[in-house]
Amino acid sequence: MNAYHAPSWLPGSHAQTIYPLLIKGSAPAYRRERWETPDGDFIDLDWVDGPSTAPLVVLFHGLEGSSASHYAISLMHSVKQKEWCGVVVHFRGCSGESNRLPRAYHSGDTEEIDWILRRLRGRFPQRQIHTAGVSLGGNALLKWLGEQGSAAAAVVTAAAAVCAPLDLTACGHHLGHGFNRVYTTRFLHTLKRNVALKLTRFPDCIDEKRMWAASSLYAFDDAVTAPLHGFRDVEDYWLRASAKPLLGSIAVPTLLLNARNDPFMPPAVLPHSHDVSRAVTLELPQEGGHVGFVTGRFPGRLNWLPQRLLHYFSGV
């Protein structure tokens, strides 16, 4: 298969069940670095080192993801093989240690994205810096790119977003129906566990009863995410954090990659050419699922996505 044609054989709704079988070997030999945030918290970054002048690939993970997520492992292995440098940025509380403050992270946290990318640019003023975001991280990255417009070019060379929930209202409600509730249940289990740990230190930060009662992402975001991050309610959060209205303002070369059979996204959410700027390369393959893009014979390989991203970055 040509590495830059979309994979076609594995339905997205089933791909996630075999991801652990597809990861060849362990995670790269990450070097962990901790940054203190301006508000007294911290984030952890896992680095894959390379030549000092090589391009840097910055990855923002998805909901409850980390440097151990299948897409992070496959991308960072490919970065290493290309003799580039890479870093997986952990959102607050996602690196295996609870963060210090009641707040955590959310789909529209562009202030955090901005601080991280500008700090990296200040540290590596001469390097090419390419940044990718997956799912939640992809939406936050696209929103930042749209807000910054041409100013983003002073910070990053190119960008890519994979399976980003561009319309959080549509995607959030979609995850509450049918087979998608299986994924929602898995997310909620992890999210509630993390919030429970936070409540031992900040018992009044949210309504604990509402949190435990939440059986959908809508209810969870209304009870937890919105109040912790300054939104009026879940509708306010989902509306203000969605990246889709800003896609036309992106000025940095950006690959927007979404599979048409992504089970997390209703077809109406997928953007059209008139929704994006001329700087955006819109790719909507028929298959690939939610950050799947599996190729080859069963159980398949996960190397298509990192190859596609690095090919795009190399071309820029």
Question: Among 59, 34, 56, 29, which Cα is nearest to 45's?
Answer: 34
pLDDT at 269: 87
Residue ranges of the chain whose pLDDT lies below 70: 1-26, 179, 296-300
Is residue 236 annotated as a catalytic residue, yes or no?
no
CA separation for the pair 301, 146 (Å, rounded): 33
CA separation for the pair 47, 184 (Å, rounded): 30
Which residues, other chains included, contact 259 with Cβ-Cβ below 8 Å and sequence gap of 6+? 6, 12, 163, 284, 285, 286, 287, 288, 289, 290, 292, 293
CA separation for the pair 183, 211 (Å, rounded): 18
pLDDT at 265: 85
- Residue among 69, 135, 216, 242 flagged as catalytic: 135
Which residues, other chains included, contact 10 with Cβ-Cβ below 8 Å and sequence gap of 6+? 287, 289, 292, 294, 300
User: Residue 12: in which H helix or E strand, if any?
Assistant: helix 12-15
What is the reported pTM? 0.90
**First and final C-alpha spacing in the chain:** 23
Query: How remote is the C-alpha of 128 from its chain's centroid?
Result: 21
Count CB-CB contacts under 10 A for residue 272. Answer: 8
Domain spans of the chain, in order of start: 12-166+242-315, 168-240
User: Residue 87: in which H helix or E strand, if any?
Assistant: strand 85-89
Q: CB-hemisphere CA count at 13 Å for 26? A: 3
CA separation for the pair 142, 160 (Å, rounded): 8
Let me know if 81 is exposed, middle or buried by CB neighbors in 10 A (0-12, 13-18, 19+).
exposed
pLDDT at 13: 34
pLDDT at 300: 66
**Which residues are bridge partners to 255 per DSSP?**
160, 281
CA separation for the pair 293, 313 (Å, rounded): 18
pLDDT at 2: 35
pLDDT at 299: 62
CATH superfamily of 12-166+242-315: Alpha/Beta hydrolase fold, catalytic domain (3.40.50.1820)
Q: CB-hemisphere CA count at 13 Å for 127? A: 23
Is residue 167 annotated as a catalytic residue, yes or no?
no
Tell me which amino acid residue 265 is. Answer: M
Which residues, other chains included, contact 127 with Cβ-Cβ below 8 Å and sequence gap of 6+? 53, 54, 55, 56
Is residue 262 annotated as a catalytic residue, yes or no?
yes
Query: How remote is the C-alpha of 106 from its chain's centroid?
Result: 10
pLDDT tens for each residue of 210-247:
999 999 999 999 999 999 999 999 999 999 999 999 99
